[in-house]
Structure 1
Amino acid sequence: MTSGLPLNTTNPIYTIDESRFGKIVCYEQTLLFEKREQKGWESGSTLASSLPFFITQLFVANLSYRIIYYLTRPLYLPPFVAQILCGLLFSPSVLGNTRFILEHVFPYRFTMVLETFANLALVYNIFLLGLGMDLRMVRITEIKPVVIAFAGLFVALPVGACLYYLHGNGHPEKITSGCVFWSLALACTNFPDLARVLADLKLLRSDMGRTAMCAAIITDLCTWVLLVFAFASFNKAGSWNHMMPWVILTTFIFVLLCIYVIRPGITWIFAKTVKAGQVGDTHVWFILGGVVLCGLMTDACGVHSITGAFLFGLSIPHDHIIRNMIEEKLHDFLSGILMPLFYIICGLRADIGYMLKFTDKFMMVLVICSCFLVKIVTTVVVSLFMQMPTRDALALGALMNTKGTLSLVVLNAGRDTKALDSPMYTHMTIALLVMSLVVEPLLAVAYKPKKRLVHYKHRTVQKIKGETEFRVLACVHILPNVSGVTNLLQVSNPTKQSPLNVFAIHLVELTGRTTASLLIMNDENKPKANFSDRVRAESDQIAESFEAMEVNNDAMTVQTITAVSPYTTMHEDICALAEDKRVCFIILPYHKHLTPDGRMGEGNSSHADINQNVLNHAPCSVGILVDRGMAMVRSESIDKTFNFDVIIDYYNVVFKYLRLENFGQLTLKLLLILIRRHTQSAHRASFLTDDTVKVKDLF
């Protein structure tokens, strides 16, 4: 140490020794329960016991992570980068070796308390990882993701072992055990972080995005299998475990227990409770208690406790409402409050200064670059062999380098078993940071759509010819939006010569726990999204309503789609889908809804923002339907009567859309919206504010 407390100090409270495996701290057992003199209302320091110190550490960890996260967001850096940087901030080479941090923030004597809560958070976080993984994507996947996953994994493993030997660090007695964890950390791909990157870049709907998702799931599952073998192969001293066959056998028995006992049992219990309408918090606590119980069982088997938590998460029925209840109660608390403690522990273990003493600088850079390139080159070569476009192959290679919590888990497992010493652990942590740094910025810059959106005037309702297919994108947020939209679609009067092709899109908010996706719901070959039962039932009802409209009209085709995305970027999904499907008209529901007394309610401000963003960025005509619940359609009558309130961008849009020459009687109220130019570079749809709206009653 260059500052702070000296090594082998004579302080009677604790002694410190340092080796290549880190610091060894010995302190008196009574230190955690130090007695303080108390006189009346006066007492000693409140930080002399473990609980106040833990609260302080929790506050510092969360504050540091939030600051770093918001500083890195404009750079398109994934949260994993902020997590590693937060940990490295308190490493011995940065702030962790200062006297203030050692004495008042992260003292040695309270490290065990910090690690206990960090590991508990890790167990539940891994449980959520298994809970959110849909294995049905593996069952229906094509051969291409399987080949890419296995090629990237089984090429990266031997290359990682070679790099470990190249960076042997002068300690050959630990190379055999260390190369296993080193190679696994290099080869694994973190599925949740990859899904988030694809969602941020709007690539989940692409063929490349679906291939990357399936390949990431397969890679994760293979990594877990190999990690179990690694846990079983080496003991706590980093040497060969002679009990390995028994460890593998008992772990395999636990896997069978999860498949044939736990999963059917949970399915049966919840089927009974759901039928009786009794699903509540008690069932959530039952599942959360089962997490630590399964972790205890796998720990007793000889592997890490996170293995049991992961398998238990996979055992929960995927379509059950309990999944969403657990995620709602656990996800934000874990990821936002407790998990930063785990990253702090990872940072406290990484000592960059100590690593530089035993590592050749050129060799360190060479190994980091090689770690980054091995999966990219392998994935690109295999993807090109599978006849993927060059740009998609390069993007897929970068995506398969996405790292996350699982990589840190592998490194910490090697550190705990003394398979990795401090320099090797620090070196690989920096390599993970570098690999994660370049993934999302590289994709954001390099992977852009091949073609720009067609200019607004070239694909509008005004430009459509009389006897051509008319394509409409109809958007709904909730089930009550459907009736007004379907009535409006029916009055478009489609014919065999001019059919109507409707793309009905159900807009669902991404809550941060669901993998964002855009899925064709009526295609049996596509995987279903991980929706709650309520959202799934609502999507099914919406799809049935539009399909019933299709059955009643031979000149109309309907395709129902569910889009899951944050409200802030939902307009991008709508505009991208409008471009992909080459639609001429987008129908959006008005953000205010009719109240029982016949007035318009306050409405949803997020829906209003979506409408305004679509108006600003749409590649075609846009109409906002104000449904007052009075629309009438009499298809069986010769005398057709319709009442509608429509907000459109140009009045002749409605005349083209409704094909008025075919109607006997029409009552139409049309609102003409005049948009003022606020800036020279952009227009704002100002109908949402009263001071800039001019309304003319044309009829």
Structure 2
Amino acid sequence: MATIPNITPKSVPHLACYNATFDLSNKIWRSDNIIDERIPLLSVQIAYNVLLSSIFHHIFKPFHLPLMIAQMLGGALLSSSMMGRFPEIFFGLYRAEGILAVETISNFGIMYYVFLNGLQMNADTIVGSSSKSMIIALSCIMIPMLGGAWFLAVERWVLGAEPINNVTIRGYYFCCAILAVTGFPVLARLLSELKILYTRLGKDALTAAMLIDAYGWVLFTVLIPFSHQGGKPLFSIMCTLLFIVFCFCVVRPILARVIAHKIRLGTWDSRGLLDVMVGLLICSYITDMLGSHHVVGAFVYGLILPSGKFADLMIDMLDDFVTTTIVPIYFASFGFKLNLEAIFDTHCSVVFPIAMVVVLAIPKILGSMMVTFFFGMSYRDGLGLGLLLNTKGMMAVLMLSVAWDKSFLDPYSFTIMMLAILFMTVLVSPLINVIYKPKLLFKQTQQRTVEKLRGDAELRIAVCVHNVNQAAGMIHVLEATNATRISPLQISVFHLVEFTRHATGLLVAQMDNPSGHGGSCTLKRVDHEWSSDGSQDAFESIAKAFEEFAEEYKAVRFEISGIVSTYDTIHEDIHNITQEKRASLILLPFQKQITSEGVLETTNKAFGDINQNVMLEPPCSVGIFVNRGLKSLMDTKMSIIMIFIGGSDDREALSIAWRMAGHSNTKLHVERLLITGNEAAEEEAFHNESNGLLSTVMDSVMQRELDDEQILHFRHKGMHNNDSITYSEQIVKINTGEEIPMILNKIDNPSYDLYILGHGSGKNYTAFQTLLEWCDNPELGVMGDIIASTSFGTNSSLLVVQQYTMRKKPKPVCRRKCNSKTTNSDML
């Protein structure tokens, strides 16, 4: 039996030792029972690990726990403290002769996993990080390292261990490093699932994690040579560092040119990918030969390869297999070393190890709070940043495994550090949801509407676009909002990209977002292709268009960022970033685009689903723009018509139209329709609880009073000494709803360039509610859907507006007045 030096046999987990004697006879060809042989046994072991980790992952998925936690727990079940208590079951899956095969395959697979981690990172971003990110990373490295040294010192003092020696000092080094590192890939995926990846906190955490992860690899490279018995560690370190410099200075430029040339010619195929994998094996072998760890070479090789289309191809080919199949096998071998009984074999109370696990999570939180306080950030940001940077990944597990294999840690310390890694990573998601949920951070206020915005206040608009054509149309709308030095325009542009590849979200998050200040913008361009679907080219084209717009209008400032997410959840990212930007209006593009024949055709049905999801519970007012060739105010004069029926959405639409009328090249006509012949749904308007979507409950009388008040204010102040604004009223009778298209046809005029409507126009009338069920595009409302249809004769563009309303807990409904609950409220 193999034994571990300097540790008593009693404290060694029974399953950590196995018979290293091999039977060289070729029995597999003569056996009557094949299931007893090596290959079938290995197949059963792999199937067990993959199945178990998948089950845990599905259980923990609603809690946004990383996949690594499920894999670690699957491995922990194989420890002597759990499945080891049932020898019949354990040895049916993991006989001694099968453990060696599991460890061999897992170490080979972990090399590929580390390679993919390096491929997902961006060396240019690491080098060009801001001083703020570097200071945060440095603080979150040094303080936890001191905490690690303190942990081992306290542990040895409490347990009455032997005096400090060379082995103990090396254990100090590894514990310090484990507490200092952060799992960058794990954190990136966690931020994306929590929908805070593109917030300020998410970007700060991701950049700092990248720097800490890079530092962790440097520290790992240095520690491994010193962990060997004998040898020349300094010589090994120098040779490894020279090899890394050679890879970056010589190998990287050559590979970048060759790969870019093949991708440009379209000659890149699976054979080329296999050639790349040969390079991975060579780099891993060289670093192992130089006295470092083979995963160091794998990480460096992934880091020097170009990102973009090539990275997507590599990750598509390897990520699913490596992450879901190979990594669980590695954690299975890791579970053999875990012995939970070790923490109960000491004279200390069980409270001590629990307290130690909790205390080990504090140093990084303390370091981040100190730095964020220095930069003037809130304590909430500091606490959230510290929790996020406590996320551990494969680097911490590798260091802990090496420390065990080299006998630098006894079973007690090993178990405590293992539990600390689990505790820190599990703790992140639930606590972030409690203390840093974007919807809870920003106070609800009516200032998120254009109607309540002061005339001399800055107008903040969040603009969402999918492509360059949509950006051009949005710019013409923004141009019409009449930005002045008294009331400037702050634009936050979001380039929406569907998450279809494993690495895309990480690559976008690492880009330095261009920002506009004082009408100018500086772009950080990338020399290589960024993705196979042209997202990088589209991003730069959109940024260039807004840059030209900001240069032309000095009162306009903008910033642009990419949002990569699944279309089912991308609206959550839009909501969170919009709240952080304190925008008063979100502009969304309609899913149909005008063709050369002048017909609106659907570009992507998913765009319509995104618009509806954004409008469901928005953090501010929302506008959907239907572009039918709207031109720039620099080239022509714009004629706008706003149709007013009543309700909060119409009042918001009128406020936007009124602001546009301040431009010298704009004419505005407001047409108010006074509807008769159809009783308003008073019961619905008065007793609306809206299932938590809307909170302000107003009766129809109050709505009409607010409508009359705004119209009176508009006529008195807006039309005074302004010949470009006209107003008219007409009384219309609506009974069945069939009259609405005829009314719009009478109002329609080919000279109108832009219609502005409220999304909920007429919703308190039964005829409108009936027609809404037949709308092809319910996000446009009844009248918006008619105007945007091909049967309507206008060539005008359309802007449909929904006003933000503060959400409150619904008030109890008086049963004597109404016994039913409704679903719509102040979206009239």
What is the TM-score when the length of structure 2 is the normalising length? 0.70
- Asked if 1:152 corresponds to 2:143, the answer is yes
Separation in 2, partners of 1:418, 1:693 = 68
Deviations 1:256-299 (A, max 9, x none): 32122221221232343345443343333222221121111111
What is the match of residue 539 of structure 1?
Answer: 539
Q: Is the 8 A contact 1:153 1:219 kept in 2?
A: no
SS in 2 for 1:242: coil
Separation in 2, partners of 1:494, 1:373 = 48
Residue of 623, 629, 632 corresponding to 1:631: 629
- Asked if 1:618 corresponds to 2:604, the answer is no
Separation in 2, partners of 1:185, 1:371 = 11
Give the residue type in structure 2 aligned to 1:324. Answer: D
SS in 1 for 2:583: coil
Q: CA RMSD in A?
A: 4.0
1:440 positional shift: 2.5
Structure 1: stretches of 5+ with no match in the other structure: 1-6, 9-16, 38-43, 678-684
Separation in 1, partners of 2:758, 2:397 = 58
Cα–Cα, structure 1 residues 190 and 23, in superposed 2: closer, same or farther, change >3 Å?
Answer: same
Cα–Cα, structure 1 residues 489 and 343, in superposed 2: closer, same or farther, change >3 Å?
Answer: same
Q: Is the 8 A contact 1:507 1:562 kept in 2?
A: yes
Separation in 1, partners of 2:446, 2:382 = 35
Residue of 243, 252, 255 corresponding to 1:266: 255
Separation in 2, partners of 1:522, 1:420 = 49
Separation in 1, partners of 2:773, 2:333 = 51
Aligned counterparts, 1:14-25, within 5 A: 20=12, 22-25=16-19
1:632 positional shift: 4.1
1:476 positional shift: 0.8
Deviations 1:389-436 (A, max 9, x none): 333333333333221211110111122223334444333212222222
Residue of 293, 296, 301 corresponding to 1:304: 293
Separation in 1, partners of 2:241, 2:95 = 41
- Asked if 1:189 corresponds to 2:182, the answer is yes
Aligned counterparts, 1:238-637, within 5 A: 240-318=229-307, 320-353=308-341, 356-357=344-345, 360-362=348-350, 363-381=352-370, 383-384=372-373, 388-448=377-437, 453=442, 455=444, 457-464=446-453, 469-492=458-481, 500-510=489-499, 511-513=501-503, 514-515=505-506, 517=509, 520-522=513-515, 531-532=530-531, 534-551=534-551, 556-592=556-592, 598=599, 600-601=601-602, 603-605=604-606, 607-627=607-627, 630-633=628-631, 635=633
Separation in 1, partners of 2:213, 2:405 = 22
Separation in 1, partners of 2:74, 2:306 = 35
Q: Is the 8 A contact 2:199 2:576 kept in 1?
A: no
Residue of 217, 224, 230 corresponding to 2:210: 217
What is the match of residue 229 of structure 1?
Answer: 222
What is the match of residue 14 of structure 1?
Answer: none
What is the match of residue 752 of structure 2?
Answer: 666
1:308 positional shift: 0.7
Cα–Cα, structure 1 residues 570 and 428, in superposed 2: closer, same or farther, change >3 Å?
Answer: same
1:255 positional shift: 1.8
SS in 2 for 1:115: helix
SS in 1 for 2:268: coil
Q: Is the 8 A contact 2:315 2:502 kept in 1?
A: no
Separation in 1, partners of 2:136, 2:441 = 29
Q: Is the 8 A contact 1:456 1:618 kept in 2?
A: no
Separation in 1, partners of 2:42, 2:34 = 12
Structure 2: stretches of 5+ with no match in the other structure: 3-8, 668-723, 725-750, 765-771, 788-793, 795-828
Deviations 1:286-326 (A, max 9, x none): 222211211111111122100111111222245x5322322
- Asked if 1:77 corresponds to 2:65, the answer is yes
Q: Is the 8 A contact 2:642 2:755 kept in 1?
A: yes
Question: How many residues of Structure 1 are paired with residues of Structure 2 in the alignment?
Answer: 663
1:506 positional shift: 0.7
Q: Is the 8 A contact 1:32 1:49 kept in 2?
A: no
Cα–Cα, structure 1 residues 394 and 641, in superposed 2: closer, same or farther, change >3 Å?
Answer: closer
What is the match of residue 56 of structure 1?
Answer: 44
Separation in 1, partners of 2:37, 2:317 = 30
Q: Is the 8 A contact 2:543 2:560 kept in 1?
A: yes
SS in 2 for 1:474: strand
SS in 1 for 2:562: strand
- Asked if 1:130 corresponds to 2:118, the answer is yes
SS in 1 for 2:19: strand
- Asked if 1:109 corresponds to 2:100, the answer is no
- Asked if 1:695 corresponds to 2:695, the answer is no
Separation in 1, partners of 2:780, 2:259 = 54
Separation in 1, partners of 2:95, 2:390 = 35
What is the match of residue 28 of structure 2?
Answer: 34
